[in-house]
Amino acid sequence: MVGVDNEEHVVSAGDSLLIPAGTVHWYRNERSEEGAFICAVPNGDDAIELVE
């Protein structure tokens, strides 16, 4: 599950999602199996805050 600008999107293996720069977003794995994702961020200022 990915949240982008107060809208939730269900994604599955093999899916991709473009999140424009400056957009507030989050993700969570709602399955019992571990998950992984790839995040590509272009050069520039960026800040990541991990929230549990």
Interval 24-38: pLDDT, tens: 888 888 889 998 888
Number of Cβ within 10 Å of residue 11's Cβ equals: 13
Domain residue spans in the chain?
1-52
Residues 3-26 pLDDT 10s: 787 888 888 888 988 888 778 888
Of 1, 3, 52, which is closest to residue 26 (Cα–Cα)?
3
- Taking residue 35's Cβ as centre, other Cβ atoms within 10 Å add up to 11
**pTM reported for the whole predicted model:** 0.58
Closest listed residue to residue 12, CA positions, set 33, 21, 25: 33
